[in-house]
Amino acid sequence: MKTSARNQFSGIVNTVLIGAVNAEVHIGLPGGATIIATITKDSVDTLGIESGKAVIALVKAPQIILVTDFGGYRISARNQLPGTITQIKPGMVNTEVDIELAGGELVAASITNDSAETLGLGIGLAVTAIFKAGSVILAVAV
């Protein structure tokens, strides 16, 4: 599949929680991490989302927030994936940061150059990639 989303995570649906309008879909990644997506009930039906189904979770790089120190705070975003920075590519305005998760999956984040400098990012630094469940788009094979 070709898309503009830098982050494409292949996984298996573990759980589907159906609400009045939306559903929460828990996707297990091969390395053990879990991604949570919030999609409409109609999308669950249209895509045939159910436990055991293979899916691809798409997340655009600008939707990823990087945290180096929570400072004793908790964050409401459901997806919090710890990893290590493997590559930093500064541009004119933004910096692309690649993070490797414990299971080997890669996450690409696009942040401002100011943010990269403020966070003191460097190769090998432990960071947490954070994104909201509503930022995840699910795809299935037809």
pLDDT given for residue 25 in this prediction: 98
pLDDT given for residue 134 in this prediction: 97
pLDDT given for residue 1 in this prediction: 81
pLDDT given for residue 142 in this prediction: 85
Residue 139, φ and ψ in degrees, nearest 5: -130, 145
Query: What is the residue extent of each domain of the chain?
Result: 7-59+133-139, 61-131
User: CA-CA distance, 32 to 119, in Å (whole number)?
Assistant: 27
Average pLDDT by stretches of 10, the chain with 142 residues: 92 97 97 96 97 98 97 96 98 97 96 97 98 98 88
The answer to whether domain 61-131 has CATH 2.40.110.10 is no
pTM of the model: 0.93
Q: Is there a shared CATH topology between the 7-59+133-139 domain and the 61-131 domain?
A: yes
The answer to whether domain 7-59+133-139 has CATH 2.40.50.100 is yes
